[in-house]
């Protein structure tokens, strides 16, 4: 049964079809299969390239064990995605780095299996503890891969990484931006996120560090600091759209990079002077709550914008930084609702401007 939506003209339908054809030309790929033994060999020989936007080794032991359990049981393994470099011929891992690392570690006896759901008798085993026959079967197991060949344009691999990880939530927001939105803005974010002073002021756990948490904080600082126009109570699409826009701005106006770099460093210098604990809740705190960071960082920036002389004054934050009121505005339900965001920025801004009067 043919269905035709009369809302669109023949010309519009034809234009849509041409767009599909044109965009499809960018995705040129082929299917392949690798034995586990070959995958591990290529990992050790560094024949696979792991790009900057891929995560560090962040899978916890239990998750690695669950994956190996699936491999041993012959359960379906998700496709690996690669991009064939036109210059080196090496395969860049677009998606699957965690799985490949886990397989490599297991076959080299670097991974001890922990909590297993079905194969409970294997808890505590390493690869070398399996029978020789089982070891061969594991090595012979094949995993399918999709390779974007050299004719696929470079943006295609970022598009695929973005779609894979925003649909499956394998990667977090900062990681997706690393993969899909490389450019001068992201370069600045990465640079500032690794500054010694900022790292001291904003401690994060090793897991969050590998998940680019400080990059997320820096991105939010700039996005919120430039205003909340277009914000719809969802952080990820707002910050991602902002990053895309700023990549274009920095490309067209390179001098703006220094303006934004100075903005961040001056604000962090003020925070370091005015807030004894930085973004921590306590002097010995080892975490940086996002809402607390946003309140202090954006509130400080807005206060400095309102009165630049504040940077040279002694501001006493002790009367309110540990108050129940401040705890309330930096926590609780709906923390990312626009009213909550504006509330915590304004609260800190006004307290800082009042602090030395």
150 & 200 share domain? no
Compute mean pLDDT per 10 residues along the chain, 357 residues long, and list them: 63 76 62 93 90 69 91 89 82 88 95 86 93 96 85 60 53 56 85 93 85 90 94 85 92 96 96 93 90 95 94 88 90 74 93 77
281 & 307 share domain? yes
What's the pLDDT score for residue 86? Answer: 76
The tokens of 340 are what?
Answer: 């909550």
Count of structural domains, the chain:
2
Q: Which of 154, 184, 207 is the last residue of a domain?
A: 154
185 & 140 share domain? no
320 & 186 share domain? yes
Residue 166 maps to a domain: no
88 & 180 share domain? no
Domain encompassing residue 53: 15-154
**Can you tell me the distance from the alpha carbon of 153 to that of 89, in angstroms, rounded to the nearest whole number?**
15
Query: In 3D, which of 238, 257, 259 has the Cα closest to residue 249?
Result: 257
Q: Are 128 and 109 within 8 A, CB to CB?
A: yes
Residue 176 maps to a domain: yes
Q: Which of 108, 124, 154 is the last residue of a domain?
A: 154
Residue 93 maps to a domain: yes
What's the pLDDT score for residue 168? Answer: 45
217 & 70 share domain? no
137 & 205 share domain? no
Residue 112 maps to a domain: yes
What's the pLDDT score for residue 169? Answer: 44
Residue 145 maps to a domain: yes
Residue 1 maps to a domain: no
88 & 203 share domain? no
23 & 123 share domain? yes
Residue 118 maps to a domain: yes
For the chain, the residue count is: 357
Model pTM score: 0.56
- CA 245, 247, 250, 253 dihedral sign is negative
Q: 43-81 as b/e, with b when 16 or more CB fall inside 10 Å?
A: beeeebeebebbbeebbeeeebbbbbbbbbeeeebeebb
133 & 250 share domain? no
Residue 161 maps to a domain: no
What's the pLDDT score for residue 22? Answer: 65
Q: Which of 100, 121, 154 is the last residue of a domain?
A: 154
Query: In 3D, which of 221, 216, 197 has the Cα closest to residue 301?
Result: 221
The tokens of 216 are what?
Answer: 């997320």
What's the pLDDT score for residue 136? Answer: 96
What's the pLDDT score for residue 1? Answer: 44
What's the pLDDT score for residue 2? Answer: 53
224 & 296 share domain? yes
80 & 226 share domain? no
């Amino acid at each position: 049964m043919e269905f035709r939506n009369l809302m669109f003209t023949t010309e519009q339908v034809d234009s849509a079809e041409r767009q599909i054809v044109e965009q499809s030309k960018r995705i040129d790929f082929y299917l392949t299969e690798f034995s586990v033994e070959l995958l591990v060999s290529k990992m050790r020989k560094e024949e696979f390239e792991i790009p900057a936007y891929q995560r560090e080794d962040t899978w916890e032991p239990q998750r690695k064990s669950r994956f190996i359990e699936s491999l041993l049981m012959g359960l379906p393994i998700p496709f690996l995605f690669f991009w064939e470099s036109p210059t080196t011929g090496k395969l860049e891992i677009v998606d699957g780095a965690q799985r490949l690392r886990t397989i490599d570690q297991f076959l080299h006896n670097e991974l001890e299996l922990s909590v297993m759901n079905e194969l409970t008798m294997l808890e505590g085993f390493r690869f070398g503890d399996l029978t020789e026959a089982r070891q061969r079967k594991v090595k012979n197991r094949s995993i399918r891969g999709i390779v974007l060949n050299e004719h696929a344009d470079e943006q295609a691999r970022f598009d695929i990484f973005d779609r894979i990880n925003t649909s499956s939530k394998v990667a977090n927001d900062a990681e997706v931006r690393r993969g899909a939105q490389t450019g001068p803005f992201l370069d600045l974010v990465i640079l500032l996120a690794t500054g010694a002073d900022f790292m001291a002021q904003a401690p994060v756990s090793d897991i969050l560090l590998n998940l680019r948490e400080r990059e997320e904080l820096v991105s939010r600082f700039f996005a919120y600091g430039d205003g909340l126009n277009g914000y719809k109570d969802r952080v990820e699409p707002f910050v991602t759209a902002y990053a895309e826009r700023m990549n274009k701005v920095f490309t067209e106006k390179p001098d703006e990079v220094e303006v934004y770099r100075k903005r961040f460093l001056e604000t962090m210098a003020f925070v370091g002077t005015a807030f004894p604990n930085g973004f921590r809740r306590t002097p010995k705190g080892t975490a940086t709550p996002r809402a607390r960071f946003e309140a202090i960082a954006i509130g400080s920036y807005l206060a400095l914008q309102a009165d630049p002389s504040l940077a040279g004054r002694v501001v006493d934050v002790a009367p309110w930084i540990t108050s129940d009121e401040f705890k309330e505005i930096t926590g609780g339900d709906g923390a990312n609702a626009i009213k909550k965001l504006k509330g915590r920025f304004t609260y800190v801004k006004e307290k800082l401007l009042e602090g030395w009067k």
